[in-house]
Amino acid sequence: MESTMSGNTEQRSPDDPLAFEEPLFDPDDTPRHGVPLPPAPPTHPSLLRRPQAEKPMARTKHRLNTLMLFAALLITLVAALLYFLPGDSAPKPQPTLSAGLPTLPPLTATPTQPPPTEQPLTAATEQPIRYDAEVPIDLVAELLMRPAEVLPPKGALYRAQNPFTVAPARGRSEIIQYRIQPGDTLEKIAARFGISQDTIIWNNDGVYVNRLLPGDTLTILPEDGVLHRTRQEETIQAIADKYKVSPFSIVDSEFNPLLRNASPSTLLPPGITVMVVGGVSDKKPVYWNPGISIQGSGGSSSTVSFGGGPGSCGAQPNTGGTGALVVPLPPIYTVVRGFSDYHTGIDLAAPTGTTVFAADGGTVIFAGWSNWGYGNTVVLAHGNLLTLYGHMSRVSVSCGQVVSRGTPIGTVGSTGNSSGPHLHFEVRVGEVPQNPTNYLGF
């Protein structure tokens, strides 16, 4: 048997993968209950703890989040209701008159007079002239001849930056009739319309530069110059020579549209109005002469009178004065306007009621109201000199009264053609106004 088993045993090569032979089962080397398992690893104590209760802070946050969610939902619902609900389209009841109320008569329009307006005139045409202002040639020439303010540095390029644009003010294109208002002066009117006082004088006959009465009218040109009206046949060249301008300034002027195709030799018929821009007239200012009359050469036989209104005292003895004038106000005044060709005195602003004093001893030849714009006025004769005090609120002297230098004669006011409380003070030699600063210091 043994030889048979040994004889049947197959010899395997060492390289054969099946050459491994499982050992025989030995019941003595294996436990009866099998191979014991290794002990299980210990479990972490934290995994064996029972779950704890939720913290109070977490519960509060949860409740707050829930509350905010419900609040947002409620706001959304309210907004949706307000958006989709129809508006109040019910018609509102109209008020009705009670049967017991009386019926009012119908209103009727009452015609009224429109306020006076400035009436435009035109030069060489009956229609108002509208135009767009252009840069004057003389202004362009002046700007071109003006040297540069900043020189470029040597050896470098430089461009000066100028953020300003030179543009002329757009003026009027019409000749208007202006109604003088209380407080107006020639200086104020000229400044208001941007023209010179000479232009106003040249184009208004019979206007006294020291007497502008409210309600009177003045012709106001849109620019400085002269408004010429032909009385006979005249050439454009002759008109230009009279007012010292070039004839082409008349032909090319936008104020003379009917002369655009004319030449300097064009003959204009009588009755043509021509605007001469920049023209200069020989007309001189006219001063108001209140009717001063001086009789005699001084002393007790000399008399003097000053007309111009109810305040005139007639002929009064001219007793003379010291010749040394003093300022007629206490030192609380302000010089607001000086003497000029268009203003025959000096204006001293002071509070209403300030005492006015006589500048020198003399005789009262005018005490009261002046019809020529001075309001309450006093005039004193001091021999060959006269002093005038205008626009006073009160007169404190009477006709023929002889006063001394420093005597109170009235109080400061704003009567007559005045725009505010001040004293208009004049010094005259006979009828000729003088500059008061030549006689005393202010």
Report pLDDT for 165: 46
Domain 293-438: what homologous superfamily? Glucose Permease (Domain IIA) (2.70.70.10)
Report pLDDT for 103: 58
Q: Where in the chain is the domain with CATH 3.10.350.10?
A: 176-277
Q: Where in the chain is the domain with CATH 2.70.70.10?
A: 293-438
Report pLDDT for 36: 60
Q: Show pLDDT as tens, one digit a residue, over the chain (442 residues).
A: 444 444 444 555 555 555 555 566 566 665 565 556 566 566 555 555 555 555 667 778 888 888 888 889 889 888 888 888 765 555 555 555 444 445 555 655 555 555 555 555 444 444 554 544 566 776 667 777 666 555 555 665 555 555 544 444 546 778 899 999 887 888 889 999 999 989 998 999 877 776 777 888 999 999 999 999 999 999 999 999 999 999 999 999 999 998 988 999 999 999 999 999 999 998 887 776 777 888 766 555 688 999 888 999 999 998 888 889 999 999 999 999 999 877 889 999 999 999 999 999 999 999 999 988 889 999 999 988 999 999 999 999 999 999 999 999 999 999 988 889 999 999 999 888 899 999 999 8
Interstrand relation of 394-395 and 334-337 (parallel, antiparallel or unpaired): unpaired
Q: Which two tokens stand for residue 148?
A: 């540069």
Residue 384's alpha-carbon distances to 132, 267, 339, 428, in angstroms, are: 55, 53, 20, 8
**Are the beta carbons of 128 and 262 closer than 8 angstroms?**
no
d(CA 264, CA 110): 55
Question: Residue type at 369?
Answer: W
**Are the beta carbons of 220 and 190 closer than 8 angstroms?**
no
CA distance from start to end of the chain: 169
Backbone dihedral region for residue 373 (phi beyond 0: left; psi -120 to 50: alpha; all else: beta)? left
d(CA 386, CA 360): 10
Report pLDDT for 5: 44
Report pLDDT for 438: 94
Report pLDDT for 153: 57
What architecture (CATH level 2) is domain 176-277? Roll (3.10)
**HEC sequence for the chain:** CHHHHHHHCCCCCCCCHHHCCCCCCCHHHCCCCCCCCCCCCCCCHHHHCCCCCCCHHHHHHHHHHHHHHHHHHHHHHHHHHHHHCCCCCCCCCCCCCCCCCCCCCCCCCCCCCCCCCCCCECCCCCCCCCCCCCCCHHHHHHHHHCCCCCCCCCCCCCCCCCCCCCCCCCCCCCEEEEECCCCCCHHHHHHHHCCCHHHHHHCCCCCECCECCCCCEEEECCCCEEEEECCCCEEHHHHHHHCCCCHHHHHCCCCCHHHCCCCCCCEECCCCEEEEECCCCCCCCECCCCCCEEECCCCCCCEEECCCCCCECCCEECCCCCCCCCCCCCCCCEEEECCECCECCEEEECCCCCEEECCCCEEEEEEEEECCCCEEEEEEEECCEEEEEEEECEECCCCCCEECCCCEEEECECCCCCCCCEEEEEEEECCEEECHHHCCCC
Report pLDDT for 88: 54
42 CB-side CA count, 13 A:
3
Report pLDDT for 328: 97
Cβ neighbours of residue 244 closer than 8 Å, sequence gap 6 or more? 279, 280
Report pLDDT for 111: 57
